[in-house]
Structure 1
Amino acid sequence: MIRTKFLNNLLLSFIWLALTGSFNLGNFFFGFLLGYVIIWIMSETRWANMYLQRGFLIISFIFYFLYELVKANLQVAYDVITPKFYMKPGIIRVPLTAKSDLEITLLANLISLTPGTLSLDVSDDRKVLYVHAMYVKDKESFIESIKNGFEKRLLEILR
């Protein structure tokens, strides 16, 4: 049902492109947003609301990821340009709530995309993700930042 709403939203955005006669990316995104609002106004069922809620979660997740990306870049850049190194590297076992291959793969890739962290391996029983981090001051707070940050938000979108 969510796929149907997404396809309807795409259809509305293409109709918008055809009506305006301006076929560019900005106009497509405006049409997509306009279609999103139309679906929201017309929604009566729980499935339509799930589609709308998931859209807000995705946008929120993108901003969270960009914030974490900028923060990690600044931390690594500061460490590189200063004469003293502030690194405390370590390999951390992060227990996983994610179960499916897609959830684990996306989480591992998101962790690896942020500077200063790298996903190393997943345990055979897929309950633990091993992460190498450059800045591990407190192991428990690092694990909590992964669990309550990337993993929690990712699972809200995927489940």
Structure 2
Amino acid sequence: MTAFLWNLMLALLWAAMLGNVTSENLLTGFVIGFALLALIDTQHGPSRYGTQAWNVVRLVAGVGWDVLVANVRVAYEIATPKLHTRPAIYRYDMEARTDAEITLLTLIVTFAPGTLALEVSEDRKAIYVHVMFATTREAFCQELRERVEIPLLRALR
């Protein structure tokens, strides 16, 4: 059974022991179960559950911050009379290989205002991205790799 299912079972057990199944008790039980499962050593070494969960939290927080910054930048562009856009289309060579990794990467890129994943190359090693505020291709690729792809792959692998 996966650690997540164990965590859900521990949360339900916690709420049942308290005799009151409320969202607060379930959340408390989930947090306590998470802490226990993250600290437990398995037969094959330390549990990866805590590390994976932390990587997911970091990915969500990073993407959330990037979306907020992109929204402010696009809103400023719309609200001011002078255009500051420098649109471009860049080829980004991915480290992502599985369908899930490629799909999530393109969705995250498209989710942020000012960027749009246009196409995945036929060899599935690159995506073409339209950007509203172009820098150099190298700077864009480095930022996308560091801010999105590496955290995504850490969360999925």
TM-score normalized by the length of structure 2? 0.92
Alpha-carbon offset, residue 47 of structure 1: 5.6
Distance in 1 (alpha carbons) for counterparts of 2:3 and 2:75? 43
| 2:33 equivalent in structure 1 | 35
Aligned-pair CA distance for 1:15: 1.2
How big is the shift at 1:13?
A: 0.9
Shift of residue 137, structure 1, vs aligned partner: 2.2
Which residues of structure 2 form unaligned runs of 5+?
A: none
- Count of aligned positions: 156
Shift, 1:149, TM fit: 1.5
Please tell me the residue identity of whatever aligns with 1:38.
Answer: L
Kept in 2: contact 1:111–1:117 (CA 8 A):
yes
Is residue 99 of structure 2 the alignment partner of residue 107 of structure 1? no
1:73-112 aligned at under 5 Å gives the runs: 73-112=71-110
Residue 150 in 1 paired to residue 153 in 2?
A: no
RMSD: 1.5
Give SS of 2:27's match. Answer: helix
Q: Quote the Cα distance in structure 2 between the aligned partners of 1:152 and 1:69.
A: 17
Give per-residue Cα distances to partners, 1:115-140, cap 9 Å, x unaligned: 00011000100011001110102221
Structure 1 gaps of 5+ residues are: none
1:122 and 2:120 equivalent? yes
1:20-56 Cα shifts (integer Å, max 9, x gaps) = 31422x4323221110112233335556521111011
Asked if 1 retains the 8 angstrom alpha-carbon contact of 2:38 and 2:49, the reply is no
**Residue identity matched to 1:125:** D
Q: What's the TM-score, normalizing by structure 1?
A: 0.91
Q: Counterparts of 1:98 and 1:46 in 2: how far apart (Å)?
A: 27
67-76 vs 39-48, which moves further? 39-48
Asked if 2 retains the 8 angstrom alpha-carbon contact of 1:61 and 1:153, the reply is yes
- Separation in structure 1 between the aligned mates of residue 62 and residue 70 of structure 2, nearest angstrom: 12
State the alpha-carbon separation in 2 of the partners of residues 67 and 19 from structure 1: 39
> For 1:6 and 1:55, how far apart are their aligned partners in 2?
10
